Structure 1
Amino acid sequence: MTGGLEYALIAVAALWGAAVGALLPRAAHRFAVPAGEEWRSACPQGHPLAGWLGPARCRACRETPYGTGAGTASGTGEGAADDTGAGPAYGAGAAVPVTVTALVCAALAAATGTRPELAVWLLLAPAGVLLATVDFRVQRLPDPLTLPFAATALALLGLTALVPEHAGEWTTALLGALALGAGYFVLFLINPAGMGFGDVKLALGAGAVLGWYGWPTVLLGTLAGFLCGALYGGALVVARKAGRKTSIPFGPFLISGAFTGLLIGAYTA
């Protein structure tokens, strides 16, 4: 791949990531509820939320006060309406998901090049960012995201295996999903307090994308995830923000490890 084409591909992937990342805040707000509770269906003022994708803003709140002490349509700060008519914000802004998703997609494009599986990675990346965001907020990995993530990964990779110039194997992707899911299930049985069942379901999708590039990539991505989780937990203990028995969300590190393994696997394929 020539330099000009490579840079153009990376730029397009980054723009795609930024555009899709801007649609994640509403979904993150709706999914980020503690285990056992239903997904949010209304803004903090009680107005029904329309759809799952888009900015975390409520049009119906534009002419009404936004909660106790919050801004109004003419106020400032969080909860204040902007000039777009979208209404005041009721959740986190789009800057973080836009930036993270754009960087992830750009890195995937740089590592994968023009091989057809890049389309699969670009479609799955926003879901990974959303899952990590929700798990960090409430330590929950929603079934409507984890299970479709695994199924979609296997289905898309199955189609990609029919396209010339791909660099992976669908059979290994399927076996990787089963193997990593089984491994996490064993860890869940051994220590349910330390490994949630949502992690087991997420491992199915992570194993699929890692398995596409072979067993060394599965091993590398798995080890990277545990290493990232251990470093994060250790840093919290050293900073005295957590104890040795403090529960931390593992989903973001499982995803980070899969991302690391996928980058290396794509680059070396």
Structure 2
Amino acid sequence: MPQALLIGIVALLGLAVGSFLNVVIHRVPRDESLVRPGSHCPQCGAAVRNRHNVPVLGWLLLRGRCADCRAPISIRYPLVEAGTAALFVAVAAKFGPSWALPAYLYLAAVAIALALIDLDVMRLPNAIVLPSYLVALALLVPAALLGDGPAPIVRGLAAAALLWLLYRALAHFGGMGGGDVKLAPLLGFYLGWLGWGAVAIGGFAAFLLGGAVGVVLMATRLAGRKSRIPFGPYMLAGAFLAVFAAAPITDWYTSLLIPTA
């Protein structure tokens, strides 16, 4: 498949998935059905018309307000849709028409949902995290067997175990929540599938990003030393930094340790 065609298809898919993620982000923390009722205004309960359900364009057409009661509609809805499409395009550009592409597209969708839910309610729901293990295995095991063989799977499982041990130890001393411990092996599996460099970069980047944001929040007095800050978004951001940039970062770091003549 030509790369341009793949990118176009994935962009449209990302918009549609982003629209669904808005439902997931709103309803899963509330233990509500993702199917019933259909999309509706949370203020007046009026059903969203089909023409207003078009990702991004629907919000623009409505000028950010409900068609019935004129209550404001958060700009986060079109941003999630556009952001999902953008991340899907980036993943497609990275992996191309490969067997691994569906797995990392799924991870992108899950990452957006989990990051925003964690920011909203400081929780990483089991309803999303735990089934993602089965999806990862179902998509990446065939991708490995149809590619270079079982080595990426073995490495992924080892990385999953390593990150679980690390986060479990941190949780024992009160440094991590239970949701973070459950998410860590999933990210370890995806990063381990790519290589140990990705595991190292993704694992380190999570703490670097989380620490940097924490310092900024305390410096601006938006948070204190005892404030709870969700760590899931930084784990996910670190993982995707590794997905996209582990190789150049590893090469750069190696060049510092072993300078060329």
Same fold (TM > 0.5): yes
Contact 2:115–2:232 (CA<8 Å) still a contact in 1?
Answer: yes
Displacement of 1:56: 5.8
Contact 2:23–2:34 (CA<8 Å) still a contact in 1?
Answer: no
Contact 1:14–1:105 (CA<8 Å) still a contact in 2?
Answer: yes
Equivalent AA in structure 2 for residue 209 of structure 1 = Y
For residues 204-243 of structure 1, give each alpha carbon's deviation from its aligned partner in whole angstroms, at most 9, with x where no partner exists: 1100110001111101111111111111111111111111
Displacement of 1:57: 3.7
Quick one: which of 142, 167, 170 aligns to 1:187?
A: 170
1:170 is aligned to: 153
Measure, in 1, the Cα distance between the counterparts of 2:38 and 2:194.
33
Unaligned runs of 5+ in 1: 33-38, 42-48, 64-75
Quick one: which of 214, 217, 220 aligns to 2:198?
A: 217
Contact 1:26–1:91 (CA<8 Å) still a contact in 2?
Answer: no
Displacement of 1:202: 0.6
Matched, 1:232 2:192: no
Measure, in 2, the Cα distance between the counterparts of 1:55 and 1:97.
16
Equivalent AA in structure 2 for residue 240 of structure 1 = R
Change beyond 3 A, Cα 1:94–1:127: same
Quick one: which of 196, 208, 217 aligns to 2:177?
A: 196
Local SS of the residue matching 1:22:
helix
Matched, 1:136 2:133: no
Could you state the TM-score of these two structures normalised by the residue count of structure 1? 0.76
Measure, in 2, the Cα distance between the counterparts of 1:53 and 1:264.
41
Matched, 1:82 2:67: yes
Unaligned runs of 5+ in 2: 48-61, 251-261
Q: Kindly report which structure 2 residues correspond to 1:17-56, keeping only aligned pairs within 5 A, or say none.
A: 17-32=14-29, 39-41=30-32, 51=35, 55=39
Q: Which structure: greater helix fraction?
A: 2
Displacement of 1:81: 3.8
Quick one: which of 151, 174, 181 aligns to 2:134?
A: 151
Contact 1:184–1:200 (CA<8 Å) still a contact in 2?
Answer: yes
Measure, in 1, the Cα distance between the counterparts of 2:150 and 2:90.
17
Displacement of 1:115: 2.3
Local SS of the residue matching 1:212:
helix
Measure, in 2, the Cα distance between the counterparts of 1:77 and 1:97.
17
Aligned Cα root-mean-square deviation (Å): 3.2
Q: Among the aligned pairs, what percent are the same residue?
A: 35
1:100 is aligned to: 83
